[in-house]
Amino acid sequence: MQQISALELADWLADDARPSPMLLDVRENWEYETCHIDGSVHMPMNTIPARIDDLDEDAAIVCICHHGARSMQVAAFLERNGFGKMVNLTGGIHAWALQVDSTMAKY
């Protein structure tokens, strides 16, 4: 699994020459409702095993949570289940709010 900073992810998303990754937000409903990155797919961590078939094994997937711990667990789980392009957002949505989008709500 790769790690990516908020600034590196912002650069990746802005790069039209590079295919965009799937942004998989694994936080709870209330967290996602508080703030999220536009275009992200919301699947709370506890739903991942039941919804694994909804994900593309061949796609680059960036896992996102509040600070990066839950998303790292999900990325590791998906890697163990055949997903080869897993990336964890280091610092999570909190780092994104601090470094990329200062208008985003923080909690």
> What residues are labeled active site?
65
Rounded Cα distance, 43 and 54, in Å: 10
Write down how long the chain is: 107
Exposure string over 87-105, b if 16+ CB within 10 A, otherwise e: bbbbbbbbbbbeebeeeee
Instruction: Provide the total of helices (H) and of strands (E) in the chain, helices listed first.
Output: 5, 5
Give the C-alpha distances (Å, rounded to integers) separating 22 from 41, 103, 106.
7, 23, 23
